[in-house]
Structure 1
């Protein structure tokens, strides 16, 4: 099982050092969240808290994930970077593919893209995009991303869908290895999207029981779509576990990459860069080393 370090809500100026520390500690990847802005008033409940409220303040740092990933890739050599998750339907897919393609080339194929839909109506309203069609547009945008970043270098591509349409064009530079696209979401639609279009699936913070059920459903759906024998990443953020044995059990259940925030696990000061780095080193010593 691989190890991923979430870099959410961290000062942008601390991210390069964090990435270097993660690489030195044996983490395989760094996950960057996506939040375009913080609407003062939101007309929908936050889906991942009991009371429907967001747990972070408006001024919480949420650097642009593509810029942050590029900066971190520039100061590291092996560790990979991915979005968890990019709100894809808020963005033009061709412009997104151009950015991803360039990042992949400049990083030496150390970029992946995790995608999701966004739950905030105001994000769609303020960016001039349509919330009603977000699922269908995300499906098409994934196909466009995978066509541009197919791993064959620059080549002619075209796309003719219901929501996006363009004739033959070429984007350069383009990577010589495919850029993985992971799909987030626990709904049936999200699991189906991951099974049909994705190279993997990304969970939210959730219990082991919920993870096990989602993995079982993904296995069924991948077989249904004729993709059961293809490589597939299960990127999970389990709650309520700790210790080497528990992580080994996750691997047995099918998790291929585990996201862990060591500062939360050890109860250290999240806002302290020094304490964060110490927690990373401790997790490396106590868990990563024991599970290699």
Structure 2
């Protein structure tokens, strides 16, 4: 995996108004020992750069950090081209790319950019097909690739060039059907605490595990990374919900609990409603080291 279990990362928004901050955040993350960067993919947002171009710039400006699309929109990004882009950057950037993908929830916004306005059921079915194509296009032995689905067709595509290790494909999923796809085909699960709060995680984890077993896979083959949005404060009160809010000690204790009780092996920090550079420094210097050294925990 490009993001080993036990890793700790940072979200960086592909925001045009904060482009200089993005470079500083990436350097701070690398210098302070964080492991990876996540970048969201909303091409229809007029304030956001294209995610792949943005990640490419940050990849070339760093040496050690891995990068994950968090998550790439498979409705606007055809799957064969998407895995080709990820494989290309993985090959050129030293196997530091992880492809996080999702079914695309913002249907009107997707339609505004020329994409199909699928129903929720159609979105999941199209995503299942996209996953099958991307897995096939990552396999050096699968030449040529043919796929005849209801939403995607591949007619003798020849994959390549491919990196020395296949690009891991992680899934941002929440509903039962998407969770089952994650367990059956995904290399990892990439939920966010705002949409998968702690009280519902155990059932979601079980759905992934059961789907993995049903597909003849070891559930441990599916990595679990938790996007944690919130703010590190100097004092209380504390909040453990859609946004995690509290002092350093609270963050350390809570992330340890998320690892040990909820089954997450890695975390991606999203600072909200505060100065990103200051929050990143606090997290990297005072939270991450204690979470790392508290024990392995993680996947069941």
User: What's 2:118 paired with?
Assistant: 131
Q: Distance in 1 between matches of 2:77 and 2:162?
A: 19
What's the offset of the Cα at 1:155?
Answer: 6.8
What aligned pairs does 1:164-179 form with structure 2 within 5 A after superposition? 164-179=152-167
Instruction: Give the direction of change, closer, same or farther, for the CA distance of 1:101–1:238 in structure 2 (3 Å limit).
Output: closer
Instruction: Give the direction of change, closer, same or farther, for the CA distance of 1:172–1:216 in structure 2 (3 Å limit).
Output: closer
Q: Distance in 2 between matches of 1:90 and 1:116?
A: 11
Instruction: Give the direction of change, closer, same or farther, for the CA distance of 1:291–1:119 in structure 2 (3 Å limit).
Output: closer
User: What's 1:14 paired with?
Assistant: 21
User: What's 2:201 paired with?
Assistant: 211
RMSD: 2.2
Residue 71 of structure 2 corresponds to residue 65 of structure 1: no
Residue 274 of structure 2 corresponds to residue 268 of structure 1: yes
User: What's 1:289 paired with?
Assistant: 289
1:32-56 Cα distance to aligned partner (Å, 9 max, x none)? 1111214xxxxxxxxxxxxxxxxxx
Residue 278 of structure 2 corresponds to residue 278 of structure 1: yes
User: What's 2:227 paired with?
Assistant: 237
Unmatched 5+ stretches in structure 2: 1-5, 230-239, 245-249, 293-300
Match of 1:80 among 66, 71, 75: 66
Residues matched between the structures, number: 260
Residue 36 of structure 2 corresponds to residue 29 of structure 1: yes
What's the offset of the Cα at 1:235?
Answer: 1.3
1:4-62 Cα distance to aligned partner (Å, 9 max, x none)? 21112642343232212111222211111111214xxxxxxxxxxxxxxxxxxxx5x32
What's the offset of the Cα at 1:106?
Answer: 1.0
Q: Distance in 2 between matches of 1:203 and 1:251?
A: 14
1:54-102 Cα distance to aligned partner (Å, 9 max, x none)? xxxxx5x322111111111101112111111111022222222221121
Q: Distance in 1 between matches of 2:289 and 2:222?
A: 24
Q: Distance in 1 between matches of 2:101 and 2:134?
A: 11
Secondary structure of the residue aligned to 1:82 is: strand
User: What's 1:191 paired with?
Assistant: 179
Match of 1:247 among 236, 241, 255: 255
Secondary structure of the residue aligned to 1:81 is: strand
Q: Is the 8 A contact 2:100 2:172 kept in 1?
A: yes
Q: Distance in 1 between matches of 2:259 and 2:34?
A: 16
Secondary structure of the residue aligned to 1:167 is: strand
Q: Distance in 1 between matches of 2:219 and 2:188?
A: 13
For normalisation by structure 2, the TM-score amounts to 0.78
User: What's 2:148 paired with?
Assistant: 161
Q: Is the 8 A contact 2:95 2:163 kept in 1?
A: yes
For normalisation by structure 1, the TM-score amounts to 0.80
Q: Is the 8 A contact 2:14 2:39 kept in 1?
A: no
Instruction: Give the direction of change, closer, same or farther, for the CA distance of 1:95–1:260 in structure 2 (3 Å limit).
Output: same
1:122-174 Cα distance to aligned partner (Å, 9 max, x none)? 23433142514322222122222222233x4x973312221333333324321
